């Protein structure tokens, strides 16, 4: 995937400005074109400065790392959302699951990081907000149609974990599924920290809360469906909201509680892939909302 040079729009604006015939370009249109040119110039300059700051940080990290293994396991990157252009070819495991999995497109340095750091399967990478660097968190409601579900996330997360979709992202960029964007409150081109992580415990239990009551009432064997769809997640992050597709319908779940094997202690993140993990459904958010509304009406009727 090639990122278009931010100066491209600037060049287009300049071309329009200098090729507009004088007979056509009134003073008003000239002013408008000049304003557009200035705005694009500023955007291109801001983007160049941002990319340079990320590149400078990563160069400094590489220069001061103790060894090559450390040098390639960590980066600051510009985050962009995955879309259907990243969907693997039919027959590949993640086909059709770009948004219903935890896979991300990473730059090539993270591929040798696996061998150099003796990382075991599943290969996991944390994505974190950076205090004082990542821009202000986007309120969930501001995602508009991309919010998908009307329910607010359980909590505002500063870190999530996932696996690699591929290692083809341009240098200094990472492409994330939309649920990660929402969990971290990110905007496109926000700066995040990405790191190969090897401390996530294997999971023994995941307690999930469906957003819609239809998942457990309309699907004959929801437990089996859930376990099948969970294969597209290498790991889970407590407090995140993840998605599954079944029969062309998308279902959303809050990850409420995670426990690790073998002792069952609570963890903020656990591995799912290659683990004997049990799942437990909690009452749906739709059921909880309806129950709350009924209790409210009952209370109001007693007061009357």
Q: What is the DSSP letter of 126?
A: E
Picking from 197, 232, 250, the residue at the C-terminal end of a domain is: 197
Q: Domain span at residue 241? A: 203-296
Q: Are residues 149 and 221 in the same domain?
A: no
Q: Are residues 227 and 131 in the same domain?
A: no
Helix 7-19 to helix 27-64 angle (10° resolution) is 160
Does residue 22 sit within a domain? Answer: no
Q: Are residues 192 and 129 in the same domain?
A: yes
CA distances from 299 to 12, 196, 229, 250, 291 (A): 64, 52, 41, 35, 12
Q: Are residues 90 and 191 in the same domain?
A: yes
Does residue 244 sit within a domain? Answer: yes
Q: Are residues 92 and 133 in the same domain?
A: yes
Count of domains for the chain = 2
Helix, strand, coil abundance in the chain, percent, nearest 5: 40, 25, 35
Which CATH number covers residue 85?
2.40.40.50
Cα dihedral angle (170, 172, 176, 178), rounded to 10 degrees? -110
Instruction: Report the pLDDT value the prediction gives residue 140, as an integer from 0 to 100.
Output: 66
Instruction: Report the pLDDT value the prediction gives residue 292, as an integer from 0 to 100.
Output: 87
What span, in angstroms and rounded, lies between the C-alpha atoms of 274 and 262? 14
- pTM, full prediction: 0.83
Instruction: Report the pLDDT value the prediction gives residue 194, as an integer from 0 to 100.
Output: 98
Picking from 148, 180, 197, the residue at the C-terminal end of a domain is: 197
Does residue 16 sit within a domain? Answer: no
Closest CA relative to residue 238, chosen from 208, 195, 198, 204: 208
Q: Are residues 61 and 164 in the same domain?
A: yes
Instruction: Report the pLDDT value the prediction gives residue 218, as an integer from 0 to 100.
Output: 80
Q: Are residues 216 and 170 in the same domain?
A: no
Instruction: Report the pLDDT value the prediction gives residue 3, as an integer from 0 to 100.
Output: 46
Picking from 153, 171, 197, the residue at the C-terminal end of a domain is: 197
Instruction: Report the pLDDT value the prediction gives residue 290, as an integer from 0 to 100.
Output: 87
Ranges of the chain with pLDDT below 70: 1-30, 140-153, 304
Q: Are residues 76 and 179 in the same domain?
A: yes
Does residue 221 sit within a domain? Answer: yes
Which CATH number covers residue 211?
3.10.330.10
Q: Are residues 264 and 292 in the same domain?
A: yes
Does residue 302 sit within a domain? Answer: no
Q: Are residues 190 and 214 in the same domain?
A: no
Does residue 211 sit within a domain? Answer: yes
Q: Are residues 191 and 211 in the same domain?
A: no
Instruction: Report the pLDDT value the prediction gives residue 7, as an integer from 0 to 100.
Output: 43
Does residue 51 sit within a domain? Answer: yes
Q: Are residues 83 and 163 in the same domain?
A: yes
Does residue 8 sit within a domain? Answer: no
DSSP string, 154-209: SS--SEEEEEEEEEEEPTTEEEE-HHHHHHHT--TTEEEEEEEE--PEEEEEEEEE
Instruction: Report the pLDDT value the prediction gives residue 13, as an integer from 0 to 100.
Output: 47
């Amino acid at each position: 995937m090639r990122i278009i040079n931010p100066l491209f729009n600037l060049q287009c604006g300049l071309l329009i400005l200098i090729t507009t015939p004088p007979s056509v370009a009134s003073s008003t249109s000239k002013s408008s074109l000049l304003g557009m040119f200035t705005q694009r110039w500023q955007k291109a300059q801001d983007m160049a400065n941002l990319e340079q700051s990320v590149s400078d940080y990563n160069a400094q990290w590489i220069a001061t790392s103790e060894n090559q293994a450390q040098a390639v396991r960590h980066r600051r990157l510009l985050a962009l959302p995955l879309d259907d252009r990243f969907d693997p070819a039919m027959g590949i495991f993640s086909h059709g699951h770009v948004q219903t999995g935890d896979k991300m497109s990473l730059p090539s340095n993270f591929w040798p990081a696996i061998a150099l750091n003796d990382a075991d399967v599943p290969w996991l990478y944390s994505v974190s907000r950076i205090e004082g660097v990542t821009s202000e968190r986007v309120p969930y409601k501001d995602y508009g149609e991309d919010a998908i579900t009307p329910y607010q996330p359980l909590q505002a997360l500063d870190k999530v974990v996932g696996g690699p979709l591929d290692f083809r992202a341009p240098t200094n960029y990472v492409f994330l599924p939309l649920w990660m964007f929402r969990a971290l409150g990110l905007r496109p081109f926000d700066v995040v920290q990405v790191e190969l992580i090897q401390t996530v415990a294997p999971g023994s239990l995941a307690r999930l809360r469906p957003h819609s009551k239809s998942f457990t009432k309309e699907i004959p064997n929801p437990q089996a469906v859930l376990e099948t769809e969970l294969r597209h997640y290498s790991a889970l992050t407590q407090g995140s909201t993840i998605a599954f597709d079944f029969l062309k319908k998308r279902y959303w779940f809050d990850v409420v509680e995670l426990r690790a094997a073998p002792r069952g202690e609570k963890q903020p993140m656990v591995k799912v892939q290659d683990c004997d993990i049990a799942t437990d459904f909690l009452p749906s958010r739709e059921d909880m909302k309806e129950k709350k509304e009924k209790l409210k009406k009952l209370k109001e009727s007693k007061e009357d």
